[in-house]
Amino acid sequence: MQGKIAKILICEDEPSHSRALTEKLSKEGFELQVAPNGEACLVMAKKDHPDVIVLDLILPKKDGFAVLKEIRNDHELKETAVVVVSNLSEDADIKETLSLGAKDYFVKSQHPINEIVEKILELAPKK
């Protein structure tokens, strides 16, 4: 994959968290897009086929659980790496998300941005 810049789609409606992720990931040289809601996330994912989707669960228009289900049922997107970053910390939410095919789950209040970025670096294609 030499010469290819990995595409990251951040689906986050919280401006401060979106901005923090964008700043950290842009320093890593990724091509970034931000979707402010679940519907926009699906439209952008289907159009641009990102390498990694960073997905919040509590979103306007369509929640992250529904977005993840649609991604996994789309033949062109089903193999896309999805990392969930959410305020939801219940075991049931984490188990459901992982059973739907998320690669990892981070509770915003329990994991620093750097830890999330490390996971994205691990999943994204190398430049």
**pLDDT class for 98, splitting at 50, 70, 90?**
very high
126 has pLDDT over 70: no
| SS3 (DSSP) at 112 | coil
The whole-angstrom separation of Cα 102 and Cα 111 is: 17
Q: What is the pLDDT of residue 127?
A: 54
Positive or negative, the CA dihedral 18, 23, 27, 32 is positive
Q: What is the pLDDT of residue 51?
A: 95
The 3 state secondary structure assigned to 42-84 is HHHHHHHCCCEEEECCCCCCCCHHHHHHHHHHCCCCCCCEEEE
Q: Does residue 6 contact residue 125 with C-beta atoms inside 8 Å?
A: yes
- Residue-wise pLDDT for 4-59, tens only, equals 679 999 999 989 889 999 999 998 889 999 999 999 999 999 999 999 999 999 99
26: enclosing H helix or E strand: helix 15-27
Its pTM surpasses 0.85: yes
3 has pLDDT over 70: no
- Share of residues in the chain with pLDDT > 90 (%): 76
* Least confident residue range of 47-56, 59-68, 86-95, 116-125: 116-125
Domains belonging to the chain, first-starting first, are 7-123 (3.40.50.2300)
Q: In what order do the strands lie in the sheet with 7-11?
A: 31-35, 7-11, 52-55, 81-86, 104-107
Half-sphere exposure for 87 (CA within 13 Å, toward CB): 7
At 114, the amino acid letter reads N
Tell me the average pLDDT of the chain. Answer: 91
The residue-averaged pLDDT of 68-88 equals 95
